[in-house]
Amino acid sequence: MKYRYPIAAILISLCLILISWGYTGHKTIGLLTENYLTPSAKTAIKDLLGDTSIADACTWADDARKYPELKETANWHFLNLLLGLNFDEFKNMVDTLKQANVYSALIKAEETLKQKDATKKQRTEALKFVLHFVGDIHQPMHVSRAEDKGGNTIQLNYEGKGTNLHSVIDTRLLEHSGLKYDSLALKFNKIPKRKVRKWQRDPPIKWAWESYQISSELYAEIDAMKTRNIGEEYYQKHIPMVERRIQQASIRLAGVLNEIFKDEISK
């Protein structure tokens, strides 16, 4: 399959003010993840994070990219590709991208976290990136197309207020629930064991593929609308998807951490 666009043009930087899943979404993932961690993983994570909770650590990467020494990490939060790819094409393009993106950054952070000879500072930073990027890769608009910056330039009117597609999926639907992250984590913690086992068997490339498929559907849906005014009907239709993606991110994050820290001995 031939592509008319150079790879370098596929990925573009998002504005630093954008926050994936919002703080509420990321903290919900962090708190929900705790319910599925092994004692060994909890001990190792506590050793690295100290008094910082997992929920709070999940948002660190969004703040870190604003620091001059970590500004390069701004591009690590998303993966933008052409639409219309099948899975094999998608995987091949992701595997061959030279630019850093949320998939490659997640894999790199996991590798650093596994290195017993890495410094505690390096492993702590890697852990914080893993906590965040697993969340990002499950946010559909973070695996989408470059030309509209992951839906950021697609203007919508949600409940009488101007916004954009990225923001609606990121934060507005969760805000509409009126619940804080601790209440959301409690509400979302109804996951059958069979789903836990299934989701944890899926590799990261599938996590990204799922988001790519969902964002493709969201784009098509918006393109088919006669009006860009959305509200309660849109919320009712899409909040189950948001809930599922947060659940999957939490379960899979726990699976990754349990595997990495299965033989860890607290220092």
What digits encode the pLDDT tens for the residues 115-146?
989 999 999 999 999 999 999 999 999 999 98
Domain extents for the chain?
Answer: 23-260
- Give pLDDT tens digits for 177-208: 999 999 999 999 999 999 999 999 999 999 99
Q: What is the chain's percent helix, strand, coil content, to nearest 5? A: 65, 5, 30
Mean pLDDT of 6-21: 41
Provide the whole-model pTM: 0.90
pLDDT at 146: 86
CATH topology of domain 23-260: P1 Nuclease (1.10.575)
Bigger pLDDT: 19 or 219? 219
DSSP 23-79: HHHHHHHHHHHHTT--HHHHHHHHHHHTTS-HHHHTTHHHHHTTSGGGGGGGGGG-E
CB 101 within 8 A of CB 133: no
Q: Is residue 161 over pLDDT 90? A: yes
pLDDT tens digits, residue range 77-102? 999 999 999 999 999 999 999 999 99
> Using CA atoms, how far apart are residues 138 and 212, in angstroms rounded to an integer?
9
Say yes or no to pLDDT of 5 above 50.
no
